[in-house]
Structure 1
Amino acid sequence: MLHSLHSLINIRFFAHLYFSTIIRLLLIVYGEIHDSYSEVPYTDIDYKVVVDGARGILNDGSPFNRHTFRYSPIYAFMQIPSVLLHPAVGKIIYSGFDIWVAVLIYKLVKDELRFQYSRLKKTDCLQSVNIKCPEIVAKVSACFWLYNPLTAVISTRGNGDSFSSFIVILTLYMIMKAFKVNEQRLSLLLIFYAGILHGLAIHLRLYPLFFSLAYYLALSEHSTCRIADFIRKLICPCKKQLLLIMGTVTSLTTLTLLFYKLYGFKFLYEAYIYHLVRKDLRHNFSLYFLMQYLGSDTEGLSSLQKLLVLMPQLIMIVFLTFAFGQFRQSLPFCIFTITFVMVTYNSVVTSQYFIWYLALLPLCFSNFKSIGIGTAVSYFSLWVLAQGLWLLPAFLLEFQGWNTFYWLWLQSIVFFIVNNFLLIQLIKNFDFITYKH
């Protein structure tokens, strides 16, 4: 294992990008062949919906005339080449963003570690901190994404979450970069651009909305020595915080008004409201799927049940935001843990949701110095095993027609417990004190 890791490190980063691109192109070609012969398609059903939405734009002007199109119209516009040129072009576009996610991971990790080096050198405490070479850590972090089979398969099947993940990480990169530049004007400009991107990220997927408070707190210029300082941080925004808010509101409002003018209330409902009130009665990884399935023949969950489902998620998000969102050095970890909690505790959990936090996890690798390679592999194997145990009864239910609902629910509980265990271990091993300033 160590020999393989050493070989991985010695390869130039550009070569990794080249190999990963070839792998994704081969998967796209395989998918085209697979779909021609197999009854179980390789291509994601959502991809076909979005391509049909693009066809709707070309034919009658609206992607929402396609039943079950419940995305931002931006995705449909991105798929117009799939209609005009070839159905697989959109997969190439998504795979391209998949590669760019790795580039951002590499750049963000490398810049952050170099910045920490410079801070430590100035304080003459570089020798007291076990900080690894920025190039090596950045390369390993990016390769986790590039060679992760789950991320490669999902993007080449035609899932657009690589695009939204790219926007989320680019937002984070802009904010982190703003702390490092010496010129005040450039720093403020980066914050405003980050706000523009954050508004776009919320428009594409609603979940980045929960990052807003963490971004806001991290940009504050007030210290947090006392409770009064913390309150001041919340209610007395500085120029950077105001620019973030302005950028976010400007971007989100502009996109919403533009598409509302083009497509009316149907856009608001399908792109936004539906995702807040949706009920997914099909089996999924969620702890709550069986409860929703059994209640499908009634009026659904009561207000109390909905509150009980939502409260643990919200409490944990608020706690993680206040614990890790106030400091630049722990901001990537804060965003990762918030995303992890949102996915784990959500009432609907599918494999594509894992991309949301897998894209953010590599940004935190340099902070897990107390976790060895063997332990990291065992944690990842446990997570994969928990999925595999769930997929067995899911396969028997969907393809063999067996009644495995209760077995499936038990495996959902196991997966939920495993995810919480892993989150606890990551928080316990997060090297926070060293870089907290």
Structure 2
Amino acid sequence: MTVKYTDIDYVVFTDAARYITQGQSPYLRETYRYTPLLAILLTPNIYLFSSFGKCLFAAADLLVGYLIHRILLLRGMPSKRALYFDALWLLNPMVANISTRGNAESLLGAMVLGTLYTMLQKRQYFYSACALFGLSVHFKIYPIIYAVPLLILLDQHDTVPLPTIMQTYQVIRNRWMYSLDNQNAVQRSIKNTLSFLSPIRILFGVVSAAVFFILTGLMYQRYGHPFLEHTYLYHVTREDHRHNFSIWFYPLYLGMDHRSPWMGLLAFVPQLALVIAIGITFGKDVFFACFLQTFLFVTYNKVITSQYFMWYICLFPLILPSTKIQMKWKGVLLLAGWVVGQAVWLNYAYQLEFLAQHTFFQLWLSGTLFFMINTWVMVELIKNHQYETVFNSNDKIRWVWGMGDPGSKRS
């Protein structure tokens, strides 16, 4: 059986784009589960040439590589050394394969990296960071998990200029906090809450939410309930009993005739709790927090496919310089375990897909092995990570990986 190089998702994207060019809803294309913005972006597939989207996704790969390089430089790494970490993304065959087959994950990676990059330079690009975050959550709902570390990152030392209304709120908030008694448990709790609800955090939340709701409102006005159903609600309630890397696929497969809401809840609760805990614990080291959150979110998800790995691979070069893991030994062992775990699963998936052998149980065992390997990788990364806050007490970016190139100035 011949396997086509182009991903089936790309065919779906192109069909949805064709409906857009005809003035119709992209959701007329069965299995289109994305924002209409993606179909609109890919209308040149119809007007110009059919591989436009693949070129766009490859360009997004290059943009992600550029953003990785810029972030490393902002944190003090010399340009020549930063190139080695860029290569982990730009020369990664998995990344190149997924994008050139026609998967759009690199677009989202560019939005997430763009959010983090502009957040590093928040005095100049604060509103750009808010807009990019709102756009990324609209594009695909999972980046909402980054709200926790991003809010933790913004604190009382922030020097971002505030609009008049936020300055007024700051004066009133400070008066309230000053009047509260630390000895009283209730008042102390209120004071801690007010301390967290700083003007800059509220401003970030309001602007990001405004961008998200404006885009979502426009799409809803144009495409109605099918937009909400296919873009957001489907992914929240999705239970895929087809074979995938998730440890949940086999229980869902066995129970597909007797669906229980408790199964979805059982999968979601630990995932959500751990993601929030990671965001709170490592929020000041925002790159490590976002990487761990994404890695954990994917590992515990009810559905896992290879393109989901792109979500955290783009963040990996930003945390690798801070690890104390010996790359020649344990690093190679961890990478080999991660690759072998996938290879074992893919072997049984091939037997199921192309040889028509009943390997569902073996696939589940392989998925369980991969889950255990991912857990081992996470534990080792946490144990060996050198925690580095992004900003100092003067709200300047800390140079943690060197003194930069000659003539470099700290932002």
The corresponding residue for 1:209 is 144
| Aligned: 1:392 with 2:347 | yes
The corresponding residue for 1:360 is 315
State the shift of 1:276 in Å. 0.8
State the shift of 1:231 in Å. 7.1
State the shift of 1:45 in Å. 0.5
| Aligned: 1:98 with 2:61 | yes
The code of the aligned residue for 1:87 comes to: S
SS at match of 2:136: helix
Larger relative contact order (Cα-Cα within 8 Å, sequence gap ≥ 6): 2
The corresponding residue for 1:146 is 90
| Aligned: 1:221 with 2:159 | no
The separation in 1 between residues aligned to 2:389 and 2:11, in whole angstroms, is 48
Please give the residue correspondences for 1:187-202 in structure 2 after superposition, counting only pairs within 5 Å.
Answer: 187=123, 190-202=125-137
Distance 1:231 1:290, change over 3 A: farther
Q: 1:318 aligns with which of 276, 281, 291?
A: 276
The corresponding residue for 1:294 is 254
Q: Unaligned regions of 5+ residues in structure 1, if any?
A: 1-37, 115-132, 179-186
The corresponding residue for 2:372 is 417
Distance 1:231 1:318, change over 3 A: farther
Distance 1:295 1:368, change over 3 A: same
State the shift of 1:217 in Å. 1.2
Contact 1:193 1:247 in 2 (8 A): no
The code of the aligned residue for 2:273 comes to: I
The separation in 1 between residues aligned to 2:103 and 2:380, in whole angstroms, is 30
Please give the residue correspondences for 1:13-412 in structure 2 after superposition, counting only pairs within 5 Å.
Answer: 39-112=2-75, 114=76, 133-178=77-122, 187=123, 190-221=125-156, 232=192, 236-298=196-258, 300-303=259-262, 305-325=263-283, 327=284, 330-412=285-367
The separation in 2 between residues aligned to 1:243 and 1:364, in whole angstroms, is 28
Distance 1:434 1:211, change over 3 A: closer
- 1:15-72 per-residue CA deviation (whole Å, 9 max, x = no partner) reads xxxxxxxxxxxxxxxxxxxxxxx73111110111011111001113321111111101
The code of the aligned residue for 1:252 comes to: F
CA RMSD of aligned residues (A): 2.1
The separation in 2 between residues aligned to 1:342 and 1:315, in whole angstroms, is 10
Which has a greater percent of helix? 1
Distance 1:436 1:62, change over 3 A: closer
State the shift of 1:398 in Å. 0.8
SS at match of 1:159: coil
Contact 1:110 1:137 in 2 (8 A): no
The corresponding residue for 1:117 is none
Counting aligned pairs with the same residue, the percent is 36
- 1:380-403 per-residue CA deviation (whole Å, 9 max, x = no partner) reads 121011100110011001110101
The separation in 2 between residues aligned to 1:435 and 1:72, in whole angstroms, is 33
**Could you tell me the TM-score, scaled by structure 2's length?**
0.84
State the shift of 1:241 in Å. 1.2
The separation in 2 between residues aligned to 1:435 and 1:80, in whole angstroms, is 40
- 1:312-362 per-residue CA deviation (whole Å, 9 max, x = no partner) reads 21221122112101x1xx100000000001100000000010000001111
State the shift of 1:436 in Å. 8.6
**Could you tell me the TM-score, scaled by structure 1's length?**
0.79
Q: Unaligned regions of 5+ residues in structure 2, if any?
A: 159-184, 393-411
Distance 1:426 1:216, change over 3 A: same
**How many pairs are equivalent?**
364
The separation in 1 between residues aligned to 2:22 and 2:67, in whole angstroms, is 37
The separation in 1 between residues aligned to 2:44 and 2:142, in whole angstroms, is 28
- 1:394-434 per-residue CA deviation (whole Å, 9 max, x = no partner) reads 10011101011111110001000000000000001100168
State the shift of 1:307 in Å. 2.5
SS at match of 2:11: helix
Contact 2:239 2:264 in 1 (8 A): no
State the shift of 1:366 in Å. 1.6
Contact 1:73 1:259 in 2 (8 A): yes
Contact 1:109 1:137 in 2 (8 A): no
- 1:143-183 per-residue CA deviation (whole Å, 9 max, x = no partner) reads 100111110000000000000110001001111222xxxxx
The separation in 2 between residues aligned to 1:435 and 1:172, in whole angstroms, is 11
- 1:62-88 per-residue CA deviation (whole Å, 9 max, x = no partner) reads 211111111011110111111112111
State the shift of 1:301 in Å. 2.6
SS at match of 1:173: helix
Distance 1:371 1:234, change over 3 A: farther
State the shift of 1:376 in Å. 2.0
